[in-house]
Amino acid sequence: MAIVGSWSEGTQGSVTGVSLLGSLSPRRNSSAFPLKYAQRVKLLHQALEHGRRRFQQTTREFAKFGTIGVINTVVDVGLWNLLNLAFPNSEVKTKIVASLIATAGAYVMNRHWAFRHRKRQQLHRETVLFLLFNAVGLAIQAGSVALAKYGFDSTDALLLNAANMFGIGVAMVFRFWSYRRWIWLTADAGAKLPQEPPNSKNDLISV
């Protein structure tokens, strides 16, 4: 009887100890999982919305920039051909003159229409950067004409105009990228996508 009693007491103590350890051990908080899931869904929604706004802004800017590009292409090409009639055998020089005139109009329209919602820098800085990037664009355009004229040893008007249009297209893409990247900065420059907040106390317990 004494043995049975001591065994019973020992068993009861063991069970009590196990129960105590179980009560002290961390329990998985089921409410943390819906909370964590909801936070991630919200972050995903914010990221998608941010991307949608950026895409729409870029599309609108490119549409305006493209309109300006079409206007200036008409000015550039038309004036270039008129100058070629007045000054034959000077296609590269007349190209530079026509592009400079078109560039002046492009600066005004881009600054006050296509990118007017973006951050403005000091006028002299904008002007210097604009002229610098347009000098690169001008080199692309004039280089295309020079390649067609001297590389193919031709003065055919169709070939020269095709080379001119190719140069205008390449220069247009370069200008759009450089204007947005260096001259007219986005209003939320440096803004980052939303970050996941630090784990809450419930999240720590649920791990």
Token pair listed for 2: 């004494």
| pLDDT attached to residue 76 | 87
| pLDDT attached to residue 170 | 92
Name the H helices within 87-156.
91-109, 123-146
| Rounded alpha-carbon distances, angstroms, from residue 4 to 11, 13, 16, 162 | 10, 14, 18, 107
- Collapsing DSSP states into helix, strand and coil, what is residue 185? strand
Residue 89 backbone class (left: φ over 0; alpha: ψ -120 to 50; beta: rest): left
Of 45-54, 61-70, 120-129, 141-150, the one with minimum mean pLDDT is 45-54
| pLDDT attached to residue 83 | 92
pTM comes to 0.56
